[in-house]
């Protein structure tokens, strides 16, 4: 089994794969606050459902993939 990647590292890798060079650039593109993004991907705050759709679109992942990446149990 592969090494588990932490949520923040996964997030940075995904936004870089989409061509974003920084958290600031990603935040501007999505209209989300950098502090909120940090809290979501450091598992300090749950991602609201309306924000989940924005993140999935920009990161080009399914909701299931995003939820698994942040450590949510998905059935």
For the stretch 58-69, pLDDT in tens is 999 999 999 999
Q: List, in order of start, the domains of the chain with CATH numbers.
A: 7-69 (1.10.260.40)
The pTM assigned to this predicted structure is 0.86
User: What's the pLDDT tens digit per position in 24-52?
Assistant: 999 999 999 999 999 999 999 999 999 99
Query: In degrees, to the nearest 5, what angle opens at C-alpha 26 toward C-alphas 57 and 59?
Result: 25
Nearest to 54 by CA among 74, 26, 22: 26
């Amino acid at each position: 089994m592969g090494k588990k990647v932490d949520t923040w590292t996964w997030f940075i890798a995904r936004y870089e794969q989409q061509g974003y060079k920084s958290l600031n650039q990603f935040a501007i593109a999505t209209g989300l606050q950098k502090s909120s993004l940090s809290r979501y991907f450091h598992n300090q705050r749950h991602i609201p459902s309306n924000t989940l759709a924005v993140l999935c679109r920009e990161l080009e992942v399914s909701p299931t993939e995003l939820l698994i990446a942040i450590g949510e149990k998905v059935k």
